Structure formats: structure tokens, C-alpha cells
Amino acid sequence: MASKEKPNSKYQHLEHGFPACYDEGSEILILGSFPSVKSRAVSFYYGHPQNRFWGVLSAIYKVNIPSGIDKKRLFLHDAHIALYDVIESCDIIGSSDASIKNVVATDIFSILSRTKIRKIFLNGKTAGKLFIKFQKELVEKGFPYLVLPSTSPANAATKMDDLIKIWGEALTKN
């Protein structure tokens, strides 16, 4: 009998696969959980066409959605935003945050030491839970962080206008 398993239905141990996006002028760090299958395929953040991340940021900063990785990097540079993920490597099934196990956390301190990061925003509840679990030192020191609603298409409960409002208030608050 042939297997009826879906592709990507088995655990894989994966490394993050591409570097953090930041420069010395970065003031805000946005952390997701771990790159999706689509993001891993393009080797850059929020690569799934239905992820609302780039649309949300574009609306907040009143620019067109940047096309291509170079334009996205330039946008992030101009907005003083750094991007990375809470997880450096893990076992995962496809893009399922719910399947994540055997986590190796990201060295957030190496990013903080090279930037002017003053706030950390977590893209979604899973990123928030993992940040609190694996970045206890930062949490205990009171480093400013905030968990925001996920821009993932899996978070259909939060509408685009609500994401723009909530993320906008967080990103533009001094």
C-alpha cells in the first residue's frame, strides 16, 4: 500500500539557514519563531506571499511593498529595523510552529552588542513564548519587549487593518 503522507509531514532538523538582517543603526529588533518553508526557499524573511509582514510595515511607513531582497534590506535599514528569529535550529515539520521541538536558541546578545536595539518585538505568540523561555536573562533584566499578533496567514483571526494599527502603535511609539 502506498504511503498517504503529505510532503513535509516528517520532522526535519533544520538550521536557520540565513543570517540576521541588521546594521549598526538598527534600533528595533523584530523576531519571528523560525523561517517558514517559503522563507527558507528564498533565504529571507517572510517569504510566503500570503504573510502580511511586508504589507503591514509598508502601510505603517507609507511606502510601496519592497520587491526583492535588496529592496527589503534597504527598507529595513532606512526604518532602523533588524530582523531575525528566536530559534537558530530545531526539529520542525514543514512550517508548523506547533511542531517545533529540540530548540537551539539564537544568540540575541551578539545582535544587541553590534546595534542600537532599544526594543524587541515578537511576531506572534509562539515567538513570544520561545523568547521568554530562552532569553530569560534579557527578560529578567527588563529589556523592553512586546509580543505582537502574528502576521502569518495562519492568524486569520487578526485582520490586516488591525495588524497595521497594533503594529503601527508599537513601532512608532518612542
Q: Which amino acid is at 171?
A: L
Radius of gyration of the chain (CA): 16
The DSSP 8-state label assigned to residue 82 in this structure reads E
Domain spans, the chain? 12-172
At 71-92, the pLDDT tens digits run: 999 999 999 999 999 999 999 8
CATH of domain 12-172: 3.40.470.10
Burial 137-150 (b: 16+ CB within 10 A, else e): ebeeeeeebebbbb
Compute the distance between CA of residue 164 and CA of residue 160 in angstroms, rounded to an integer: 6
Compute the distance between CA of residue 105 and CA of residue 85 in angstroms, rounded to an integer: 9
Judge whether 51 counts as a catalytic residue. yes
At 102-142, the pLDDT tens digits run: 999 999 999 999 999 999 999 999 999 999 999 999 999 99
Burial 35-58 (b: 16+ CB within 10 A, else e): bbeebbeeebbbbbeebbbbbbbe
Q: Model-level pTM?
A: 0.92
Question: Which residue is catalytic, options 51, 123, 155, 174?
Answer: 51
Question: Over 70: is that where the pLDDT of 41 sits?
Answer: yes
Q: Average the pLDDT over 1-25 and give the result.
A: 78
Compute the distance between CA of residue 117 and CA of residue 44 in angstroms, rounded to an integer: 21
Q: Is residue 155 classed exposed, middle or buried when 0-12, 13-18 and 19+ CB atoms within 10 A define those classes?
A: middle
Q: Parallel, antiparallel, or unpaired for β 12-15 and 119-123?
A: unpaired
Between 37 and 164, name the one with better pLDDT.
Answer: 164
Give pLDDT, residue 8: 57
